[in-house]
Structure formats: structure tokens, C-alpha cells
């Protein structure tokens, strides 16, 4: 049966030049390289330069994804930017990217689902493309978390970093078969009862300030493994695939121990898991497209591969996307 599938035609990413190692952080707060590596797997993170905005990172990643897709920017009719660190409260970071790309048609908006933002963005774009409401979408995850970190709080400031990644998705006619390219399934979930376990203690409508990130790491960790495993199992059941059929698992990079735990619980061999956290820490909505871009550049992605994306973050929000590359 002829259907429309959303096919990823290009991926790109950008990391700011400045690198901050664990040794650099140990000069600011009472921590050590040993503690950070053992508890999270992080060795370094990238920090945006003074004046470098989320939209600058987003634009650099978008340019790369567009070049690789071979699609002209003016043919993009939907731009979704997933970010929790927008340039301004409004307008959206997505419209800044739109203007930067020289596009003045279609629609551009931000999605706020923190670390799950990229999966939420892919799910939203997929629905727009399959319904015929858009033909070519740019989905970006971009963050400058260094701006909302309390650099005196060692329990959070060691974990996060800045970066951006993007994909170009195109609506394509398909037979809808198991081996046809494109997004096969997206599932997004949230549960607002857990808002206070991971949040920013400010905002225009409450404190009129930006605020700083606060997290009960131990509790978030406990929920993460459970919720991520649950949504992946739901995805596999609904699509009829088994965990050992996944060629590449591209998860949100929050903690190496979470990823090891999820892979083990699902029975996905660790060599099929893309792990980039050591090089850039937790970059929230940017981490999945950064990891996807890394896999692409390392030639770990071949046409026809079954690829699983997954994320969990503040809200709580979480979700998964299964696709045929």
C-alpha cells in the first residue's frame, strides 16, 4: 500500500570550540576527574563562547545537515528547534535559524521538552510530513546549558555542556514495507508529577529571572532506566521488532551508567550503542543528533539499518523513535 514516510536525508552537528575538561572543572568546584568519569562517563564538555547563542550553534548544525541532504534551504517548509535554552524568551530560536538560512516561508517554532526535545521534534515533524502539511522539515536540537548552570553546584555543573545537531527529514512515497526507509514509529510521553526532580528555578512568568538548573540526580537516575526501557519495549511490541534486530541504538547521552543499564536490560550488545557522552557531556536536546552525526561520520550507519533513538528528561518527558536509515 502506498504511504508517506519521513526519511532522514541529512544529519549535521556543531560543538563550540572551547573545551572544558574535568580537570578544568576541578579548579572551580570540589570534584575530581575520577568521580566524574566513574559516576557519569564524562571526560570533557564544550562551552559556547561569550556572545555565542543557541541559534548560532543551531544554524551551524543545520547548514551541515542541509549540505549533506542536497536539499536547498528554501525548499524547507518546517523548522522545529528543540531547546530549553532559547536565545530569548521570544521569538523562538527556530525563527532565528529560519532567518539565518534565508527562509521566509513555511513555519518555524521551538519545542520545549528539555532532554527529550529532539525525539519530540522528530515525532512532531513526522506527523506533519505524513499528514501532507509539510514536505521537508529541519529538526534541530540545540542547547547552551552552560548559561543555566550554577557553577557553584558540583552535583550539576559537571554534567552538562553546549552543542547542537540537526536532521533534514523529507516526505517520500513508500510501499510501507519493513525494509523501506523512514520513521517507523514515534512514541512520546510525559508525567508532570515529577516536575520538581529536574527543573530550572526561574522563569519570566514566575521569578522574572532565567534561573539555574536543579536536579535530584539519584531520583532522576532511578526513573530514567525504568522509563526508557518501558518506552523502548512499547516501541518494539507495537512495530513487531526484537531488540536484537536493532542495528544502532542512538540514545540521549545523560550518563554512561544509564546507557549501560538500558542496553543490558534490553539485550542490545554494547557495540551497537553510540556513546559520545565522554566527549561532550549531557547536551540535552542536542545529544541525540550529535550522537547520530558522530555515527554517520564514523561510517557506522548504512542504508537499511534499523536505528533506535531514545531520550528522557525534565518534566518528566521521555520518548523513542524507530527508523530505517
- Positions touching ligand UT7 (CB under 6 A) are 31, 35, 39-40, 115, 154-155, 158-159, 217-218, 220-221, 224, 254-255, 258, 282, 312-313
Grid cell digits, residue 136: 521537508
Active-site positions read 115, 252, 282
Q: Which residues contact 298 (CB under 8 A, 6 or more apart)?
A: none
Q: How far is the CB of 29 from ligand UT7 (least distance, A)?
A: 7
Cβ at position 252, least distance to ligand UT7 in Å: 6
Nearer to ligand UT7, 227 or 272 (CB): 227
Closest to ligand UT7 by CB, 76 or 159: 159
| Grid cell at residue 48 | 559556547
Cβ atoms within 10 Å, residue 156: 21
Look at residues 256, 239, 259, 250 and name the one whose alpha carbon lies nearest to residue 286.
250
Q: Least CB distance from residue 218 to ligand UT7, whole Å?
A: 4
By beta-carbon proximity to ligand UT7, the closer residue of 40 and 92 is 40
Do the beta carbons of residue 83 and residue 143 sit within 8 Å?
yes
Q: 33 by DSSP, 3-state: which?
A: helix
Chain residue whose CB lies nearest ligand UT7? 217
**Least spacing, CB of residue 158 vs ligand UT7, in Å:** 4
Cis peptide before 66 (omega within 30 of 0): no
Residue number, 170 or 310, with CB nearest to ligand UT7: 310
- Closest to ligand UT7 by CB, 137 or 312: 312
Nearer to ligand UT7 by C-beta: 255 or 276?
A: 255
- Taking a C-beta distance cutoff of 8 angstroms, is the pair 11, 292 a contact? yes
Is residue 230 packed enough to be buried (19+ CB in 10 Å), middle (13-18) or exposed (0-12)?
middle
Instruction: Using the structure block, give the residue that is written with the C-alpha cell 519521513.
Output: 6
Closest Cα to residue 164, out of 138, 188, 125? 138
Q: How far is the CB of 322 from ligand UT7 (least distance, A)?
A: 21
Q: Residue 47's closest CA among 143, 175, 167, 171? A: 143
Q: Cβ distance 214 to 200 under 8 Å?
A: yes
Minimal distance in Å, beta carbon 30 to ligand UT7?
7
| Phi, psi for 196 (deg, rounded to 5) | -85, 10
Amino acid at each position: 500500500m502506498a504511504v508517506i514516510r519521513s526519511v532522514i536525508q541529512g544529519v549535521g552537528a556543531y560543538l563550540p570550540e572551547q573545551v572544558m575538561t574535568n580537570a578544568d572543572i576541578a579548579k572551580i568546584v570540589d570534584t575530581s576527574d575520577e568521580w566524574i568519569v566513574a559516576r557519569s562517563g564524562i571526560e570533557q564538555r564544550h562551552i559556547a563562547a561569550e556572545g555565542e547563542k543557541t541559534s548560532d550553534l543551531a544554524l551551524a548544525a543545520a547548514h551541515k545537515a542541509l549540505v549533506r541532504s542536497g536539499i536547498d534551504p528554501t525548499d524547507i517548509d518546517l523548522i522545529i528547534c528543540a531547546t530549553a535554552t532559547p536565545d530569548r524568551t521570544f521569538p523562538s530560536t527556530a525563527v532565528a535559524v529560519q532567518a539565518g538560512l534565508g527562509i521566509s516561508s513555511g513555519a518555524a517554532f521551538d519545542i520545549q521538552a528539555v532532554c527529550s526535545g529532539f525525539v519530540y521534534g522528530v515525532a512532531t515533524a513526522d506527523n506533519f510530513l505524513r499528514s501532507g502539511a509539510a514536505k521537508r522539515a529541519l529538526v534541530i536540537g540545540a542547547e547552551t546549558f552552560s548559561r543555566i548552570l550554577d557553577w557553584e553546584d558540583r552535583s550539576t555543573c559537571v554534567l552538562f555542556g553546549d552543542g547542537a545537531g540537526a536532521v533534514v527529514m523529507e516526505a517520500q512515497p513508500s510501499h510501507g514495507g519493513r525494509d523501506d526507509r523512514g520513521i517507523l514509529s514515534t512514541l512520546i510521553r510525559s508525567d508532570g508529577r515529577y516536575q520538581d526532580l529536574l527543573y530550572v528555578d526561574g522563569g519570566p512568568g514566575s521569578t522574572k529571572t532565567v534561573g539555574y538548573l536543579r536536579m535530584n540526580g539519584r531520583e532522576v537516575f532511578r526513573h530514567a532506566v525504568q522509563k526508557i526501557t518501558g518506552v523502548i519495549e512499547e516501541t518494539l511490541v507495537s512495530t513487531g521488532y526484537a531488540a536484537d534486530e536493532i542495528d544502532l541504538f542512538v540514545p540521549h547521552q545523560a550518563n554512561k551508567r544509564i546507557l549501560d543499564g538500558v542496553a543490558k536490560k534490553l539485550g542490545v550488545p554494547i557495540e551497537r550503542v553510540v556513546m559520545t557522552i565522554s566527549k561532550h557531556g549531557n547536551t540535552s536536546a542536542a545529544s541525540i543528533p550529535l550522537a547520530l552525526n558522530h555515527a554517520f561520520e564514523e561510517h557506522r550507519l548504512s542504508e537499511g539499518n534499523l536505528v533506535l533513538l531514545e531520550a528522557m528528561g525534565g518534566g518528566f518527558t521521555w520518548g523513542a523513535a524507530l527508523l530505517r536509515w
